[in-house]
Structure 1
Amino acid sequence: MTCPCCRKEVKHKKMVHVNKLRKTIGRLEVKCKNAEAGCLVTCPLAHRKGHQDSCPFELTACPNDGCTVQVLRGVLAEHRQHCQHGTRQHCPLGCGATLGPAERVRHNCYHQLRETWGQRQERSRTLVLCLLRRMRKVHHATNLIRQQLAQLGDFLEDDALFLGAGQEETEANPRGSSRAEVWGIQGQNIL
């Protein structure tokens, strides 16, 4: 810190704070530091910093990555809409498109909606074809199961007839025939 009169360096320990003087100085009305840029605000010196943080004439850097432009805080929002380094935003007309600043200039909602509709229609066609393929597979599997059930039904009828004949035969022939052998021969036909 330097002395305001002689500009010699003053150690912090030797400094004397005069609170009454500080309050008086703090109440002095000063113009905004951006008065040359057009700001007409005058405020107490103590409140100057608070005004500068919200002054529309304060130069601020564009927050978009890669943009080095400094603009007045009051026009920053407009600059961000047209900034070439801006982030992608949804179309303000509601078509659902996400656009960068360069795309916003030549964006046409009608074309965007038509393209989106075409993509969804193509996706629907693909889903319908997939469902048809699956239905054919299910239909084919159902037909195979029906055929196998019919063969099983025929086999069970033959087996019932065979068992009825087999009981007569066992009464006549005590050894009888092996049922497992019959099942093995006819079971191969089913599969």
Structure 2
Amino acid sequence: MSAHSCCEMEAPQPLGVSGAAVQTQIMSGGYDLNLFASPPDCNFLCSVCHGVLKRPVRLPCSHVFCKKCILQWLARQKTCPCCRKDVKRKKMVHVNKLRKTIGRLEVKCKNAEAGCVVTCPLVHRKGHQDSCPFELMACPNKDCTARVPRGALAEHRQHCPHGAQQRCPLGCGATLGPAERVRHNCYRELRNAWTQRQERSRTLVLGLLQRMRKVYRTTSLIRRQLAQLGDFLEEDDALLLGGPQEEAEATPEGSTEAEGWGTQGQATL
């Protein structure tokens, strides 16, 4: 039985396992049909997961399945899902040629629903995904759990509440957190900074004036004290210099009088 005829068969359901459980176990085997830009050929479909073959393997009975799908199937039953023939895992063969053919099929970006319109071969899908602007990316800021499209990540980081503080990009010099950057106004910030600087300057000038007045009062007091000390020293100098001079002036007069009295006595005698 060919892969084409097998794909039209519905995979048998193992005993004791519900349909929902089987569907949950095997749906992740092949590629989703909605991934492809145009409906793929029926020969490229896996009859277990009904998706496009992913890592296809062929059984000895010539039926082809996704490797993951058939391994999950054989873990429960040892027969081919299509023809029920006994299967040994050692007899499975990788179909690399079919894998390369499927790899050339055009697929849509996995972010097509988000707005990406790019299509590319299946083998290049991962490379596009690594640069797709619609790919969801985790915010690199610590403690932030947001996931945003790659194209909007830079803007998110500017407004992320967990982001680090940054300088204002307009050059006002302010250091801003994410929440502050949203409502930041350079003109208002500069005006407030200028007002604060004027207040500080006014306070400094008033303090300097008070100190100058205090220094002036102290200097005036010292000058008055020095003037008083100078007057006091001049009076002491005058007293010290005036005493000996008066004594010297008094001595000659006494001597003259003594001499006069001596002459008069001699005359009397």
TM-score interval (norm. to shorter): 0.5 to 0.7
Which blocks of at least 5 consecutive residues in structure 1 are unaligned?
7-28, 30-34, 43-47, 173-191
Q: Partners of 1:154 and 1:41 in 2: how far apart?
A: 110
Aligned: 1:88 with 2:162: no
Change in CA separation of 1:104 and 1:164 when aligned onto 2, cut-off 3 Å? same
Aligned: 1:164 with 2:238: no
- Larger of the two Rg values belongs to structure: 2
Counterparts of residues 4-153 of structure 1 (less than 5 Å): 36-37=110-111, 55-57=130-132, 60-73=137-150, 75-153=152-230
CA contact (8 A) 1:56 1:72 kept: no
Shift of 1:40: 8.2
Q: Which residue matches 2:24?
A: none
- Bigger helix fraction: 1
Change in CA separation of 1:75 and 1:165 when aligned onto 2, cut-off 3 Å? same
Shift of 1:74: 5.2
Q: Secondary structure at the match of 2:173?
A: coil
Shift of 1:152: 1.4
CA contact (8 A) 1:90 1:96 kept: yes
Q: Which residue matches 1:176?
A: none
Counterparts of residues 172-191 of structure 1 (less than 5 Å): none
Identity, in percent, stands at 61
Count of aligned pairs: 139
- What letter matches 2:200 in structure 1? R
RMSD (Å), alpha carbons: 3.8
Which blocks of at least 5 consecutive residues in structure 2 are unaligned?
1-66, 72-102, 104-108, 250-269
Which structure has the higher relative contact order (CA within 8 Å, separation 6+)? Answer: 2
Shift of 1:115: 0.8
Shift of 1:157: 0.8
Shift of 1:97: 2.0
